[in-house]
Each structure stands twice: as structure tokens, then as C-alpha cells.
Amino acid sequence: MSTKPLDHLYSEHHPWLRQWLSRRLGCSADAADLAHDAFLRLLLKPVQPVFDNALAARGYLRKVANGLCINLWQRREIEQAWLDALAAQPERFADSAEHCAAVLQALQEVGQMLIGLPGKGAQAFVLAVVCQMTDKEVAAELGVSDRMVRKYVAKAMLACLSLQAAQDMAMFYQDHDA
């Protein structure tokens, strides 16, 4: 998409998108952030949509924004689960704010990785690793074979290892650039 159509799309539909998001989220600040992110996504990953009318353009923008809303809610669920787990810990085990932020970032990355897996793959990983269910129990829960559970979990573990490798590389470059 050249910047000219994007400029037009932004000027014509940004206020509407921000208002739509505000009603959906119940928070004008989050709505403004996500409306901005929707257009930023279009700028960074150009597509060539052809909109016959304003309704088609708004439908496309609503779809992009809806995905951003889901990501926001998932990040907040992960963050809340982490905060709840921290609150349940005795004070003597409290981590530093820096460590908490690093763990939260890692949890969000794992959450994003799980979103990228097929539905049953993510469920199998959570049930097997987090809930410590056996392959047989996971298979019964998901209605698949034990072998399929092992495949799902192996694929998720490979994705986790890829995340870890990317973090290690980032740390390596960070240490060597300083």
C-alpha cells in the first residue's frame, strides 16, 4: 500500500476506529493505542486491499483491530495470572521488579508462541507441561491419540527452545555491544 492510500484511509477512518475500539474496550486510552497500532501495522506490513466503499474499509480495519484487542486481552490475562501467583507467594520469596518484568515478558512471549500453534497443540502443551497431565490424560481430554499429544508437545517445546535461543542471542549481542 503506498502512503497516499494509507493517508486517506487514516484521515477517513481513524476517528471512527478509535471510537469503535473505545466502545469495545471501555477505555479511551487503550482505544487510542490500538487504533494507532492498527495503522502502524498497515504501514509496517503493507497490504494491497481494494475497498469499494467505506463499509469495506471499516470492515478490514475492524478485523485488524479485533486481532489487536484479542492480543491485548491475552497479554493482560497472562500478566494477571503472574501477579496472582506473585501475590500468593510469601513475602520472603518476593522477586525484584526487574526479575518480575523479565518473567512477565517471557510469559507473554510464550503466550504469543502458543497463539501461533494449532488450538489442540497449545492445549496439549498447557495440559502436559503446566497441569502435569500424562499423555494418556491429555489424549482423552483432547480426543486425540497419545502419539499426537507427543507431537503437539514436541512442536511446542521446539518453539519454546527457539524463543530461548532468540533471547540468548539478544543477550549475547547486548553484552557485546556494551
Q: Say if CB 30 and CB 21 are below 8 A apart.
A: yes
Q: What is the pLDDT of residues 3-23, one digit of tens each?
A: 557 788 888 899 999 999 999
Q: What is the pLDDT of residues 121-167, one digit of tens each?
A: 888 888 888 778 899 999 998 899 999 999 998 988 888 888 778 77
In the predicted model, is pLDDT for residue 49 greater than 70? no
The alpha-helical segments, DSSP class H, found in 26-53 are: 28-44
115 or 35, higher pLDDT: 35
Q: What is the pLDDT of residues 70-96, one digit of tens each?
A: 878 877 887 787 777 777 777 666 667
Euclidean distance between CA atoms 175 and 169, whole angstroms? 10
Mean of all residue pLDDT scores within the chain: 81
**What are the extents of the domains in the chain?**
1-94, 96-178
Burial of 31 from C-beta contacts in 10 A (0-12 / 13-18 / 19+): buried
Question: pTM of this prediction?
Answer: 0.55
Helix 54-88 with 3-25: angle, nearest 10 deg: 50
Q: Say if CB 146 and CB 139 are below 8 A apart.
A: yes
In the predicted model, is pLDDT for residue 1 greater than 60? no
Q: Say if CB 95 and CB 103 are below 8 A apart.
A: yes
Sign for the pseudo-dihedral over CA of 10, 16, 19, 25:
negative
Q: Say if CB 42 and CB 9 are below 8 A apart.
A: yes
Euclidean distance between CA atoms 32 and 41, whole angstroms? 14
In this structure, how many other beta carbons lie within 10 angstroms of the beta carbon of residue 98?
A: 8
Q: Tell me the CATH architecture of domain 96-178.
A: Orthogonal Bundle (1.10)
